[in-house]
Amino acid sequence: MSSLASSPHAAVPSRPHGRSPGARAFAALLRNPLALAGIAILVLTAVVAALAGVIAPGDPLDMAGIPLQWPGDDAAHRLGTDSLGRDVFSGLVHGTRASLMVGLSAASISLAIGVVVGAVGGYFGGRTDNVLVRVTELFQTVPAFLLVIVLVAIHQPTLPVIQAAIGLASWPEIARLVRAEFRVLRDSDFVLAARASGFGPLHIIWHEVLPNALPPLIVTTSILIASAILAESGLSFLGMSDPNVVSWGGMIGGNREHIGSAWFLTALPGAAIATVVLAFNLLGDGLNDALNPRLRRRSA
């Protein structure tokens, strides 16, 4: 026990072949062609979002031409114009920013709440865990998308409100996942060694248990981002998007009345959403294969 007390990480097994688990997981991820395809799509999407002002200069909300021009009708508007004369290509490019921002911000809010609730409940257990589990179950009694609609309807449908609403409705899944991981890890040898060394609960939760609970959390985060983008699209289709910000969901919602006569107005942003969501799903599957030791050994 004295040797354990001298180092909180003494119980951690040695790394085979001199490679860390992170390096092995990264190498496994690079060997997955579908995961690489997802990463390539997401990198391209991020570049488009960062250079939106260069790729499509001007305000995408401004009337740029004759309304309802089809793709190819005017060289100045390569993907046509919507019912208000706004350039569709410009909307797609600038909408990348808002859609990614919603996904990343909502996922961050969900992670912050879910990790705190799950970590505290899973580590301490007892009455604290019971109370937090009841609170989590209370949120899960209401369908997540319905809760998002209610929260956005109470306030103005601005982008920050939409991000916060999606994040507040999505954290129970994260909390349950983190709680399950903490319940498994809290009695591990390295945690006992850290307690014997005199470290407090906050240090053990943050520096000892949470890093070992990250693999399933990372995988779930990629799915959370994709789900948040889809939720924003659903809100926009119901007319609950931010009118001052261009997003792919907002483009679909604003042109839903023209699905029959000008299908490209909804098909193009819909294809953009489907592509990015697919990319996050491919990345999530690749991360799951790379971070799951059983799957990694099976594919080796």
How many distinct structural domains can be found in the chain? Answer: 1
Per-residue confidence (pLDDT) for residue 111, from 0 to 100: 94
Per-residue confidence (pLDDT) for residue 293, from 0 to 100: 53
In a domain, 168, yes or no: yes
Per-residue confidence (pLDDT) for residue 43, from 0 to 100: 95
Per-residue confidence (pLDDT) for residue 294, from 0 to 100: 52
Per-residue confidence (pLDDT) for residue 21, from 0 to 100: 62
Per-residue confidence (pLDDT) for residue 18, from 0 to 100: 52
Per-residue confidence (pLDDT) for residue 292, from 0 to 100: 67
Global pTM? 0.81
**CA 95 → CA 3, 50, 263, distances in Å?**
57, 11, 18
**CATH code at position 211:** 1.10.3720.10
In a domain, 70, yes or no: no
In a domain, 24, yes or no: no
In a domain, 11, yes or no: no
Per-residue confidence (pLDDT) for residue 297, from 0 to 100: 47
In a domain, 9, yes or no: no
- 227 is in which domain, residue-wise? 32-51+85-299
Per-residue confidence (pLDDT) for residue 250, from 0 to 100: 87
What is the pLDDT tens value at each position of the chain, 300 positions in all?
444 444 444 444 444 445 666 677 778 778 889 989 999 999 999 999 999 989 998 888 888 888 888 888 888 888 988 888 899 999 999 999 998 999 999 999 999 999 999 999 999 988 999 999 999 999 988 889 999 999 999 888 889 999 999 999 999 999 999 999 999 888 888 888 988 888 888 998 988 898 888 888 888 888 899 999 999 888 888 888 888 888 898 888 888 888 888 899 999 999 999 999 999 999 988 888 887 655 444 444
Tokens 């609730």 belong to residue: 117
Query: Is there a contact between 245 and 98 (Cβ–Cβ < 8 Å)?
Result: yes
In a domain, 47, yes or no: yes
In a domain, 95, yes or no: yes
Which residues touch 278 (CB under 8 Å, ≥6 apart)? 38, 41
**Which two structure tokens, joined as six digits, stand for 1?**
């026990």
In a domain, 4, yes or no: no
How far apart are the C-alpha atoms of 254 and 242, rounded to whole Å?
11
Per-residue confidence (pLDDT) for residue 121, from 0 to 100: 92
Query: Is there a contact between 168 and 192 (Cβ–Cβ < 8 Å)?
Result: no
How far apart are the C-alpha atoms of 86 and 91, rounded to whole Å?
8
